[in-house]
Amino acid sequence: MNSYVSPWMDDDLHMLREAISRYVESEMLPKEPKWRAQHHVDREAWRAAGEAGFLLLDVPQEYGGGGGDFRHEALLYEELNRRGISGFGQGVHSIAAHYVLNYGSEEQKQRWLPRMARGELIGAIAMTEPGAGSDLKGIRTRAERDGDHYVVNGSKIFITNGSIATILMLVVRTDASDRSRGLSILMVETENLAGYRVGRVLDKMGLTAQDTSELFFEDVRVAADCLLGGEEGKGMHQLMGDLPYERLTIAIGGVAAMEGAVAETVRYVNERKAFGQSIASFQNTRFKLAEVVTRTRVARTFVDSCISQLVEGSLDTETAAMAKWWITDTQQEVIDECVQLHGGYGYMNEYLVCRMFADSRVQRIYGGTNEIMKELISRSI
Ligand SMILES: Cc1cc2nc3c(=O)[nH]c(=O)nc-3n(C[C@H](O)[C@H](O)[C@H](O)COP(=O)(O)OP(=O)(O)OC[C@H]3O[C@@H](n4cnc5c(N)ncnc54)[C@H](O)[C@@H]3O)c2cc1C
């Protein structure tokens, strides 16, 4: 089971993985219960991860990043998710940074990326609104030009990192007459921002360490030079371009969670006894393990191929959508079996597989629902 090594790994990446793994074990895992209890990650954890050099590993060094590629970035997703550390919203932070990297002006990159790499700024993606989730073109948060500023009014919901974020990738409507070309992205620093308010940290089924929040904007003045790329109406185009990256991060998290849950379950069934023998010795257990190990391996090889394609620049929207839906559906089925093999203990939050099961449900919903993924794939057939 452990003999498989991702083909994109090399000696340098092995060393980096070990360093990240040690860091996650010593600096993050012990804090996880506190983050879950308070429903947010401490801002200091972001500073510390930045100081350790583990943020924005695939952003060029000239902008403060690690100077690697997506393989380097993938390692942190994997090491967090295989341990069930789901509150640290590295995904949205990195994705927000990539919008700046891919569409920002040189000045904008210099302004935001080094501070994001140091963990001084914590990123969030603010797209979804109460009336616009899958249907992004329905976004109503308005940004009206007033001299050197935009005046923003509206609200967002379900925003990951919402309560601790200090920089928002905010999707706004700059033109009410065109559903698609009327959208733009503003990068908004939130510290001491008049008219900006974080609403409730929402009470969720899982991801309890994650501060999924409501955000409100009332006559918020944002300098016009915060418009990503400097041109209005490019929001939809920018969003479409970066979605494969976002969907792959979700799929990677899914595979790593499966791997972590299966490893923990193998350990558990060998320890736990019933009817005078270990649970692992029952044929049902061995067959169930054979199934989850196989499904996890299939998911792993597919995600590995997607990672290589992303590094080469050839990952298309459909393939990323396939990875997102299939892997997250499979993640939930695999972790469900792991819960079953734990018996009653699998239903207790103190057990890793229990937390992972609750956390896995939303993987099929956010980042574009799995139905929307199938819609995208079907259009390419
Ligand atoms: C924990 C969590 C974290 C999140 N983090 C963020 C974040 O950081 N930033 C952010 O902007 N958003 C975030 N979201 C929002 C998330 O992306 C949306 O919830 C998701 O896109 C679905 O939108 P919706 O909730 O409005 O559902 P709806 O769009 O109302 O969908 C309801 C149902 O209808 C289906 N449906 C909709 N349209 C179609 C169609 N055309 N064909 C077939 N079926 C369809 C959907 O698949 C779904 O089953 C988060 C959500 C959660 C729960």
249 lines ligand 1 (CB under 6 A): no
Q: What is the pLDDT of residue 243?
A: 86
206 shares a domain with 182: yes
166 shares a domain with 108: no
Q: What is the pLDDT of residue 1?
A: 54
- The reply to whether 140 falls in a domain is yes
Q: What is the pLDDT of residue 2?
A: 61
Determine the atom of ligand 1 nearest the C-alpha atom of 127. 11
Q: What is the pLDDT of residue 242?
A: 86
Average pLDDT for 139-165: 98
Q: pLDDT tens across 238-295, in order?
A: 998 888 999 999 999 999 999 999 999 999 999 999 999 999 999 999 999 999 999 9
Based on its alpha-carbon atoms, the radius of gyration of the chain, rounded to whole angstroms, reads 21
Query: What does the alpha-carbon distance between residue 218 and residue 153 come to, in Å, rounded to a whole number?
Result: 5
- The reply to whether 2 falls in a domain is no
Residue percentage of the chain with pLDDT more than 70: 99
246 is catalytic: yes
127 lines ligand 1 (CB under 6 A): yes
Kindly report the protein residue whose alpha carbon is nearest to atom 7 of ligand 1: 159
305 shares a domain with 347: yes
186 shares a domain with 72: no
Distance 364 CA to ligand 1 centre (A): 9
Query: What does the alpha-carbon distance between residue 232 and residue 71 come to, in Å, rounded to a whole number?
Result: 33
- The reply to whether 346 falls in a domain is yes
Distance 127 CA to ligand 1 centre (A): 10
Q: What is the pLDDT of residue 3?
A: 81
Q: pLDDT tens across 307-359, in order?
A: 999 999 999 999 999 999 999 999 999 999 999 999 999 999 999 999 999 99
80 shares a domain with 209: no
- The reply to whether 98 falls in a domain is yes
257 lines ligand 1 (CB under 6 A): no
Catalytic residue among 246, 259, 264, 337: 246
Kindly report the protein residue whose alpha carbon is nearest to atom 24 of ligand 1: 133
351 shares a domain with 295: yes
Q: How many CB atoms lie within 10 A of CB 107?
A: 10
Kindly report the protein residue whose alpha carbon is nearest to atom 26 of ligand 1: 133
C-alpha 80: how far from chain center: 11
152 shares a domain with 117: no
Main-chain dihedrals φ then ψ at residue 163, nearest 5 degrees: -80, -20
Query: What does the alpha-carbon distance between residue 316 and residue 353 come to, in Å, rounded to a whole number?
Result: 33
Q: Is 208's pLDDT higher than 80?
A: yes
- The reply to whether 1 falls in a domain is no
358 lines ligand 1 (CB under 6 A): no
- The reply to whether 317 falls in a domain is yes
- The reply to whether 5 falls in a domain is no
Distance 158 CA to ligand 1 centre (A): 9
Q: What is the pTM of this model?
A: 0.97
Kindly report the protein residue whose alpha carbon is nearest to atom 38 of ligand 1: 134
CA angle 122, 214, 153 (to 5 degrees): 95
Query: What does the alpha-carbon distance between residue 156 and residue 138 come to, in Å, rounded to a whole number?
Result: 12
Residue 189, SS3? strand
Weakest-pLDDT range from 48-52, 175-179, 182-186: 175-179
285: β partners: none
Residue 170, SS3? strand
176 shares a domain with 81: no
Average pLDDT for 8-23: 98
Q: pLDDT tens across 19-57, in order?
A: 999 999 999 999 999 999 999 999 999 999 999 999 999
- The reply to whether 268 falls in a domain is yes
Number of structural domains the chain divides into: 3
246 shares a domain with 364: yes
Distance 247 CA to ligand 1 centre (A): 14
Average pLDDT for 185-210: 98
132 shares a domain with 104: no
90 shares a domain with 23: yes
114 shares a domain with 31: yes
Q: Which of 233, 252, 283 is the last residue of a domain?
A: 233
Q: Which of 205, 233, 261 is the last residue of a domain?
A: 233
Could you tell me the two tokens for 292?
């989850």
> Which CATH number goes with the domain that contains 26?
1.10.540.10
> Which CATH number goes with the domain that contains 189?
2.40.110.10
> Which CATH number goes with the domain that contains 307?
1.20.140.10
Q: Which of 70, 98, 121 is the last residue of a domain?
A: 121
Average pLDDT for 356-376: 98
Kindly report the protein residue whose alpha carbon is nearest to atom 44 of ligand 1: 371
Please name the residue that has the structure tokens 């380097």: 72
Q: How many residues would you count in the chain?
A: 381
Q: What is the pLDDT of residue 219?
A: 98
Nearest to 79 by CA among 38, 39, 23: 23
Could you tell me the two tokens for 122?
């914590």
Instruction: Determine contact, residues 311/71, Cβ cutoff 8 Å.
Output: yes
Q: Which domain holds residue 37?
A: 11-121
- What type of residue is 182? G
Nearest to 227 by CA among 307, 302, 171: 171
CA angle 78, 84, 88 (to 5 degrees): 75
160 lines ligand 1 (CB under 6 A): yes
